[in-house]
């Protein structure tokens, strides 16, 4: 046995020991010929079962000999929310690759890329409820276009005028997912208005929304949802911090995975104010096109540059359709990819005299994936 093969077998032996694999299985793997691990089930049973359990729920702590929490792959809420690349990163490079425990070792020297892909597909199968959409359909968050995937997130969104009269808008957004395809959302805006040399600030119009997943398919790479939103008049209309009008809004959202890590998302909807003498009915359409790039050989943090195109039109006599472009990028902060930021510029294409350029940004915390101090 040459030194290269011996080194490979030594690394594999250490990896198996760390995962509590029975001694017989270890020697079967590193003996005169390797077992043919052709299916995800065979790979799981050979490399994972002693810690993660034959049913995917995790072996008892008394059996594994450590106190670190083991995931339950039968819990669809856990087992579906992340994209395959996150799981692949952990299997390739170990738990620390995504800010998790060092007890989960690296398998990049023990399993091929093809075997890891088969293993991930097998792990996904522990969730028997197909109503839950896969995390690969959770496309990057755009600055304006609403995504179709239901989320558990807290977002602080800010925009301010880059030219013309000063002004800024800040919104705290809380999104709560429940069940396989439902989401509740609460938006609390706080606006700053500059008028006649004076600054005015105040609460904007609060919005409460509901999102319902309608369709998802990993085979086609598509996801569709419908949402309804109620905006309540909590702003002081005299200060200009909001319309101060009750508005009913409905819209559909669509996401599509494209080859080579490209993606496209679309949102189209309508707004129906209760008092049309104070605010006009409106239609809008938004689309975003982008591509994701991952560092660390494809297993590190993921960056997503995007371009949004926005169109909206008041349903009033003489109204014109406003068009905007929003070049932007989503920036990852944590290794776990649960704390991210978005930064872009809204550039009006027409009617530019009344609509200034705006700097837009958000800070996102996917709180279901860990605390603010975790995953770095």
CATH classification of the domain holding 55: 1.10.760
Instruction: Name the nearest CA neighbour of 127 among 48, 57, 211.
Output: 57
Last residue of a domain, one of 103, 124, 145: 124
- Contact in structure between 322 and 353 (CB atoms under 8 Å): no
Residue 236 located in a structural domain: yes
pLDDT of res. 36? 65
Q: Please give the C-alpha separations between residue 44 and each of 68, 88, 104, 301, in angstroms, as whole numbers.
A: 20, 14, 14, 26
Question: Encoding tokens for residue 139?
Answer: 């496309």
Q: Are 95 and 186 within one domain?
A: no
Last residue of a domain, one of 93, 124, 155: 124
Q: Are 76 and 141 within one domain?
A: no
- Contact in structure between 179 and 210 (CB atoms under 8 Å): no
Q: Are 109 and 64 within one domain?
A: yes
pLDDT of res. 181? 96
Residue 296 carries which DSSP code? G
What residues have CB less than 8 Å from 353, skipping those under 6 apart?
A: none
Q: Are 105 and 156 within one domain?
A: no
Q: Can you give the pLDDT of all 376 residues of the chain as single tens digits?
A: 444 444 444 344 334 444 444 333 433 443 434 446 789 898 998 888 888 988 888 878 777 777 788 889 999 999 999 999 999 999 999 988 888 888 888 888 888 899 999 999 999 999 989 999 999 999 999 999 999 999 999 999 999 998 877 888 999 999 999 999 999 999 999 988 777 677 788 888 999 999 999 999 999 999 999 999 999 999 887 777 778 899 999 999 999 999 999 999 999 999 999 988 888 999 999 999 999 999 988 889 999 999 999 999 999 888 899 999 999 999 999 999 999 999 999 999 998 888 899 999 999 999 988 899 988 8
Q: Are 146 and 47 within one domain?
A: no
Q: Are 190 and 296 within one domain?
A: yes
What residues have CB less than 8 Å from 13, skipping those under 6 apart?
A: 26, 30
Residue 213 located in a structural domain: yes
pLDDT of res. 196? 66
Last residue of a domain, one of 67, 90, 124: 124
pLDDT of res. 362? 98
pLDDT of res. 193? 79
- 150 by Cβ neighbours in 10 Å (0-12 / 13-18 / 19+) ranks as buried
As for how many domains the chain has, the answer is 2
Q: Are 233 and 116 within one domain?
A: no
CB atoms within 10 A of CB 262: 12
Residue 129 located in a structural domain: no
Residue 199 located in a structural domain: yes
Instruction: Name the nearest CA neighbour of 40 among 78, 10, 71, 84.
Output: 84
Residue 376 located in a structural domain: no
Residue 180 carries which DSSP code? T
Residue 130 located in a structural domain: no
CA distance 328 to 291: 11
Q: Are 52 and 181 within one domain?
A: no
Collapse the DSSP code of 28 into the 3-class scheme (helix H, G, I; strand E, B; otherwise coil) and give the result.
helix
Q: Are 14 and 148 within one domain?
A: no
Identify the H or E element spanning 186.
strand 182-195
Q: Are 172 and 140 within one domain?
A: yes
Q: Are 166 and 284 within one domain?
A: yes
Residue 293 located in a structural domain: yes
CA distance 90 to 98: 6
- Contact in structure between 263 and 139 (CB atoms under 8 Å): yes
Q: Are 198 and 91 within one domain?
A: no
Q: Kind of pairing, strands 282-291 and 293-294?
A: unpaired
Residue 307 located in a structural domain: yes
Q: Is 234 left (phi over 0), alpha (psi -120 to 50) or beta?
A: alpha
**CATH number where 327 lies:** 2.40.160.40
Q: 29 is in which domain, residue-wise?
A: 3-124
Query: CA-based angle 166:272:284, to the nearest 5?
Result: 60
Q: Please give the C-alpha separations between residue 316 and each of 150, 190, 277, 323, in angstroms, as whole numbers.
A: 33, 28, 11, 17
């Amino acid at each position: 046995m040459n030194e290269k093969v011996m080194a490979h077998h030594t690394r594999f032996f250490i990896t198996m020991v760390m995962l509590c694999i029975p001694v017989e299985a270890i020697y079967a793997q590193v003996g005169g010929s390797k077992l043919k691990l052709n299916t995800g089930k065979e790979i799981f049973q050979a490399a994972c079962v002693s810690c993660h359990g034959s049913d995917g729920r995790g072996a008892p702590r008394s059996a594994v000999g450590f106190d670190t929490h083991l995931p339950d792959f039968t819990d669809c809420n856990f087992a579906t929310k992340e994209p395959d690349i996150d799981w692949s990163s952990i299997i390739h490079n170990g738990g620390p690759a995504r800010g998790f425990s060092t007890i989960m070792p690296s398998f990049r020297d023990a399993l091929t890329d093809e075997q890891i892909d088969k293993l991930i597909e097998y792990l996904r199968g522990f969730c028997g409820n197909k109503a839950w959409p896969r995390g690969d359909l959770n496309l990057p968050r755009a600055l304006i276009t609403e995504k179709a995937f239901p989320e558990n997130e807290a977002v602080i969104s800010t925009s301010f005028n880059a030219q013309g009269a000063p002004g800024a808008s800040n919104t705290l957004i809380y999104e709560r997912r429940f069940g396989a395809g439902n989401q509740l959302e609460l938006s609390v805006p706080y606006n700053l208005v500059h008028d006649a040399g004076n600054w005015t600030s105040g609460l904007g119009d609060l919005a409460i929304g509901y999102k319902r997943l309608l369709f998802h398919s990993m085979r086609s790479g598509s996801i569709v949802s419908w949402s309804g939103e109620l905006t309540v008049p909590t702003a002081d209309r005299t200060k200009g911090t909001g319309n101060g009008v009750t508005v009913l809004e409905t819209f559909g959202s669509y996401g599509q995975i494209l080859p080579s890590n490209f993606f496209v998302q679309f949102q189209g909807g309508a707004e129906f104010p209760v008092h049309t003498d104070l605010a006009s009915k409106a239609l809008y359409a938004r689309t975003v096109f982008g591509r994701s790039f991952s560092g660390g050989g494809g297993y590190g943090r993921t960056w997503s540059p995007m371009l949004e195109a926005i169109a909206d039109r008041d349903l009033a006599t003489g109204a014109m359709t406003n068009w905007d472009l929003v070049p932007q990028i989503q920036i990852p902060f944590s290794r776990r990819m649960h704390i991210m930021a978005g930064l872009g510029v809204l550039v009006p294409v027409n009617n530019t005299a009344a609509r200034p350029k705006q700097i837009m940004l958000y800070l996102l915390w996917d709180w279901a994936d860990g605390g603010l101090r975790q995953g770095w």
